[in-house]
Amino acid sequence: MRSDIIKKGLEKAPHRSLFKAMGYTDDEINRPLIGVGHAHNEIIPGHIHLDKIVEAVKTGVRLAGGTPISFGTIGVCDGIAMSHKGMKYSLASREVIADSVEIMAEAHPFDALVLVPNCDKVVPGMLMAMLRVNIPAVMVSGGPMLTGRFKGKDVHLVSVFEGVGRVKANTMTEAELCELEEAACPGCGSCAGMFTANSMNCLTEALGLGLPGNGTIPAVSAARLRLAKYAGKAVLHLLEKNIRPRDIATIKAFENAMAVDMALGCSTNTVLHVPAIAQEAGVDLPLDLFNDVSARTPHLCSLIPGGPHSLQQLDEAGGVSAVMHELMGTNKGLNLDVQTATGSKLGENLKAVKVRDREIIRSVADPYHHVGGIAVLYGNLAPEGSVVKQSAVADEMLEHSGPARVYDSEEEALEAILGGRINSGDVVVIRYCGPKGGPGMPEMLSPTSAIIGMGLGKSVALITDGRFSGGTQGACIGHVSPEAAEGGPIALVREGDTITVNIPSKSIELEVPQEELESRKAHWQPPSPKITTGYVARYARQVSSGSSGAVLK
């Protein structure tokens, strides 16, 4: 076993002595040592209960004959970090999480790993580490939050963000917003809806690195604790069979995960994280592959925020497994011969699966849309690509042309939106918010929610080199690459320029002659860095384009 290097032989007496200092017995030391990496803390609702998930994992490990050893890493709550300096640290935390898990797994050579994340950057960060270290491993998340109830309707965190805009638009009172604030987030779990955290937890399952149910079983359900125990047991089986993450996360598995992404209508942030995870797996995943998979994959589920249905309802309808079973009936179907964390091939896992509710998971013959939930747009404004969650765009905004309203920060744009200075037909441009320029590619949930709350969701587009929360809906195009801080075309847009977006045609164009753009580029000067010291300053110097997953060079 891998851990023999720290516990076998005469020379390892000092190492064994250190284990005994913590109370480990010889029997425990001699068993397989299973690292249980987690991000339990008291600042993220999705992580507040992970101590209980970790204990369940440890029970499962012991039941299967291993010795569990837990260790922690950091996490950022995107909701709490939103709309201030803290958001510059969110995406950047992904690399720290990956590095910290790698450090723990290599410095203390565990035989296998069970990783327990739940929220936005923690899931992809741990997946990156899992594939980098490449020892037998399985992931089990903390599960989604239940929706809240307000005035007889399901509500969630984004309802509160949108409520701010509604108060500004005089369609909601401040007293009502206070009531909504109390009701929207009823307990632990990753924020209710197909936002980034739940998107990545579902894709972990679809990729085969999490057990069935990983993406959808509610955080408060006893089934979540049972799943954690099964994960603890499963990793010992993977160890026995020497099945490693890179044996599971092949190009075929990534194509399956991308198909599930399209069928569910997942967050645009998956287009950042999936390529970064694939890179750690040694898999080449070009951005164009998202459009290829989207073109052949119908959108089967209408989930919050783009639709009415919750993760709990998706789970009751059969979850990710049922969606994958339905996708078997598409033209290309799924790759059923891929290995999964269950120890069996995907085809075996799906044999007994069925869709329990056709309202929640539609058939491939009757989808919400005949193409997938995400589209990558190209054009002279985004030569290296940009991303939109097309399943959350109103039909009347799939094609849009209008005057640019240009802002060099999220704060300026939000002030203009809430101040009533954005008009129907406008195209709001928020730039210098990319991986380098942000730095850290901050999410734009406040301005996008304000647009919805102000009643402009069906008449205003928003374009940025930053990114969006999975909670964003509307004609919001992010990840514009190259970014403004690199001198990309978005840096050359001027107030009043016409921008044309055609989502069905996958195009985004700045209607300005090329000669004029070249003249503007000749006079462009790069901005001064917004942060000059500390980790994020180093991150800004080393990070790649959003089109390549914003990984560190």
Q: Which residues are catalytic?
A: 469
Which of 250, 403, 428 is closest to 336 using CA atoms?
250
Q: What is the CA radius of gyration of the chain?
A: 23
> Would you call 38 helix, strand, or coil by DSSP?
strand
Cβ neighbours, 10 Å, residue 107: 9
- Both tokens of residue 238? 């993977």
H and E: helices and strands count for the chain: 21, 14
In terms of phi and psi (left: phi > 0; alpha: psi -120 to 50; beta: otherwise), the region of 417 is alpha
**Under 8 Å CB-to-CB from 409, ≥6 apart: which residues?**
430, 432, 433
Taken in order 484, 488, 490, 495, the sign of the CA dihedral is positive
Please say whether the beta carbons of 551 and 543 come within 8 A.
yes
Q: Nearest 5°: CA angle at 416, between 412 and 422? A: 135
Strand pairing class (148-150; 153-155): antiparallel
Provide the residue type at 278 as one letter: A
Please say whether the beta carbons of 157 and 192 come within 8 A.
yes
